[in-house]
Amino acid sequence: MKINIAGILRDRFVMGMMVWAVALVLFFVFAIQKGKWVKIEEIRQDIKSQEKTLNHIIKTGTDNPSPEKIEACLQYKKLLEDEIQKCHDFYLESDKPFERWFPNVELDPAGTPTEGTFFAAYRGAKREIILKQLYDLNIKVCDDHDNEIPDEDEERKCSVLGLDDPTHQTQFPKVQKQFWIVKKLVDAVVTAEASKCGPIRIQYPAPPVMIPEDLGIIIPFEIKVYLPLTNAAKLLYYISDTSKGGPFLTLTQVKITRFTQQADEMTERTESEEQKGKIQPPSDVQDVKVTISGNIMDFGEKPEK
């Protein structure tokens, strides 16, 4: 087959198409090459900049560490890593009391207590360790509205204190840890010689908030306590005390307000009768309500016997 070159050249349309095709090819080639040229120029300028910086360091000695300085930095780095590891080990070791089950519970092959032994230990501990301690010292349990709960209503008192019964075996680890948290808070309430203890709220956020280095999770809590003003500092100290191991509680907010009903009534009465000179307002109100918010640092995944 022969191509008629002369005919093609005489055909203006075909000739025009060929010119456009050649121009299009040249355009794409130029565009690609231009992009490469721009990139090469950027690299060249970066090399020049780095070369100037390197020459400056070589001439002045600035930021040019000696072998001795490098060795000292490496030793300092290792010292910091060792100290960080000691902190990790301290918290993990101190957290072990928070990771234990009740004594005398039977564990199944998965390491979880059997239902019968756990419920018996849990309900016994609520009654004998928590409620009895409050009852013996005449520390009342109050609801959200500052109303005292009758001593015989043990189920409601446990619910207000954050000690509800689990509904499934999978909840045992969380319920066990909540008991140790409540016990620490109640021990602080007793030590601070409080008169009343309000609701205890322990909330597990979703998704959980992680402790740095993935050492565990952070669990928010809140408690209300009614006690003499002079004992408030003692309450805060024992709640945040870590000398006896976990659970570790950190305080984020403390609010102190007057609570004593008798003192408030006297204050309200004197506001209307003060001008008559019959009753002088009280000079000091000793009883206060302390609302404490904070975080529980849970360094373990589940309790261990």
CATH of the domain at 206: 3.30.70.60
Mean pLDDT for the chain?
A: 78
Q: Which of 62-76, 262-276, 286-300 has the lowest mean pLDDT?
A: 262-276
| Position 123 in a domain | yes
Whether residue 289 is contained in a domain is answered as yes
Domain annotation covers residue 166: yes
d(CA 145, CA 165): 23
CB 170 within 8 A of CB 291: no
Q: Is 3 domain-assigned?
A: no
Q: Does a structural domain hold residue 195?
A: yes
Query: Residue 292, by phi and psi: left (phi above 0), alpha (psi -120 to 50) or beta?
Result: beta
Q: What is the 3-state secondary structure (H, E, C) of 6-52?
A: HHHHHCHHHHHHHHHHHHHHHHHHHHHHHHHHHHHHHHHHHHHHHHH
Cis bond upstream, residue 103 (ω within 30): no
Range of the domain at 139: 93-298
Q: Assess if residue 74 is contained within a domain.
A: no
- Please report, rounded to a whole number, the percentage of residues in the chain having pLDDT higher than 70: 73
Is 2 part of a structural domain of the chain? no
Question: What pLDDT digit, counting tens, does each position of 50-69 carry?
Answer: 777 777 777 766 666 778 88
CA distances, 200 to each of 6, 93, 255, 293, 294 (Å): 100, 27, 15, 10, 12
Q: Domain for residue 42, yes or no?
A: no
pLDDT digits (tens, 9 = 90+) for 252-264: 999 998 754 544 4
Poorest-confidence range of 36-45, 78-87, 96-105, 283-292?
36-45
d(CA 183, CA 247): 10
Tally of structural domains, the chain: 1
